[in-house]
Amino acid sequence: MLDTLIKNALVLPMTGAGAEPDCSIGIRDGRIAYLGKDKPEAREVIDAGGHIVMPGLVNAHAHTAMCLMRGYADDYTLESWLFDKIFPVEARLDERAIVAGTVLGMAEMIRTGTTSFSDMYFCEPAVAEAVLKAGMKANLSNAIIAIGDGYDPEKDRAVIETRTLLKDYGVSGDVRGDISIHAEYTSPVHIWHMAHEWAAEYGAITHIHLSETKKEHEEAKARHGMTAAAAFAKNGVLDTKVLFAHGVWLEKEDLELLAEHGASVAHCPVSNLKLGSGIANVRAMLDAGINVCLGTDGACSNNSLDLFEEIKLAALLAKGSSFDPTALPAYEALKLATVNGAKAQGRGDETGTVEPGKAADLIMIDTSKPNLRPIYDPAGAVAYSARGSDVEMTMVNGKVLYRNGEWLTIDVERAVREVEEYAVPIVLNK
């Protein structure tokens, strides 16, 4: 007998097949065991009522705890935002504040249909425990920032946490350890070599900010005599699995390099626009053969962790910047947030589509909402009309985390209170 049956669903499987109405999804031991028109017996039955059921979304680049600083540093350039506003606050944050911010961020992601995220921040071993309690999936990393002559990797919290994550969680399972080089401009080449050796030893993904602004991109060329992407490739970093964030200013040769090495790029359109960084050429990346996915970045440079905003904006920017309305069709935009995101996390065999054998990481979108009626094309409705607030249910490994306005694994009132009463005074240095 099945554990759970979702019946009467309009299934958008993201397998290349079209949406299937009046469909049933059977779940056993956290995985999809049945997909079809019948209604097999199950211990629990969820009536989808004709709503869209599709894979949960993957946020491939996030600094989740930065929702602590939502609205704290609006309307700055990236350099001023980072060095004048963010780094000073982050130097004050402790583990309790970071976990509080992460829990609040996960509540937002769960509510808006994200089931897995790639996080780059601090205190990640403690964050890992919070992720497991919330029931989400996550790839966690603490970015190595090695600035100054006195840098000692043996005393660096990022290095220590990376070792802990890889030792305690490995590179498989619901919570996984990633390795992170913060960026080309925040670390010397010998640090890249160290990170690359770890990645090769563990088979881990390396998560890196890349060519986010024109200034950053041009300064890297001045330092190395080549682009940051080329410098990383020259030093072996691309010989293992890499997830780059942003890629706004990549050049043609960079695209070829990344495609050749099988790298992924997390496109973060809302953050890139808010910080005035530019518009990444997603169509060129896809045409080059790069696995492009989507990220929100942190809520301090985005103000939201709602991936539905990223899906629509990614499609519109591709169309508007190229003067071609076919540049990024709805279905392909949805792939960025599902299939491609799962692949970027090393979870492509596990999640990202609705098909037998995959984990039951599913979301249900309430199509009775006025903004979603009528529906001619389900993919177009999700990509262009849906909002995170239209998500009625979020499920990971067959376990419901959110349904009909209720979080089942997070005490949201407590999470908000912890952030407001404990973390905000730290942000404000009071």
For residue 19, pLDDT over 90 is answered with yes
Report the 10 Å Cβ neighbour count for 270. Answer: 22
- For residue 353, is it within any domain? no
Task: Report the alpha-carbon distance of residue 77 to residue 340 in Å, rounded.
Answer: 30
Question: Domain boundary residue among 320, 344, 368?
Answer: 344
Say what the pLDDT of residue 430 is. Answer: 85
- For residue 412, is it within any domain? no
Looking at the fold, whether 147 and 193 belong to one and the same domain comes out as yes
Percent of the chain with pLDDT over 70: 100
Looking at the fold, whether 272 and 317 belong to one and the same domain comes out as yes
- For residue 414, is it within any domain? no
- For residue 164, is it within any domain? yes
- For residue 351, is it within any domain? no
For residue range 203-230, list pLDDT tens digits in order. Answer: 999 999 999 999 999 999 999 999 999 9
- Measured in Å, how far apart are the chain's first and last C-alpha atoms? 57
- For residue 268, is it within any domain? yes
- Structure tokens of 63? 């600094």
CATH of the domain at 29: 2.30.40.10
Say what the pLDDT of residue 148 is. Answer: 82
Looking at the fold, whether 63 and 197 belong to one and the same domain comes out as yes
Mean pLDDT of 387-411: 98
Domain count, the chain: 2
What sign for the dihedral angle of Cα 26, 30, 32, 33?
negative
The kind and range of the H/E element at 44 are strand 42-47
Looking at the fold, whether 279 and 242 belong to one and the same domain comes out as yes
Looking at the fold, whether 105 and 182 belong to one and the same domain comes out as yes
Mean pLDDT, the chain, rounded, equals: 97
Looking at the fold, whether 135 and 262 belong to one and the same domain comes out as yes
For residue 174, pLDDT over 90 is answered with yes
For residue 175, pLDDT over 90 is answered with yes
Looking at the fold, whether 41 and 64 belong to one and the same domain comes out as no
For residue range 278-300, list pLDDT tens digits in order. Answer: 999 999 999 999 999 999 999 99
For residue 82, pLDDT over 90 is answered with no
Least confident of 149-158, 181-190, 302-311, 401-410: 149-158
- For residue 181, is it within any domain? yes
Domain that holds residue 402: 2-55+358-407
Looking at the fold, whether 70 and 182 belong to one and the same domain comes out as yes
Looking at the fold, whether 158 and 29 belong to one and the same domain comes out as no
Say what the pLDDT of residue 393 is. Answer: 98
Task: Report the alpha-carbon distance of residue 95 to residue 124 in Å, rounded.
Answer: 9
pLDDT interval class at 344 (50, 70, 90): very high
Looking at the fold, whether 284 and 364 belong to one and the same domain comes out as no
CATH of the domain at 126: 3.20.20.140
pLDDT interval class at 77 (50, 70, 90): confident
Looking at the fold, whether 168 and 264 belong to one and the same domain comes out as yes
For residue range 224-264, list pLDDT tens digits in order. Answer: 999 999 999 999 999 999 999 999 999 999 999 999 999 99
- CA neighbor of 331 nearest in space, from 353, 359, 358, 356: 353
For residue range 401-430, list pLDDT tens digits in order. Answer: 999 999 999 999 999 999 999 999 999 998
- For residue 425, is it within any domain? no
Looking at the fold, whether 243 and 304 belong to one and the same domain comes out as yes
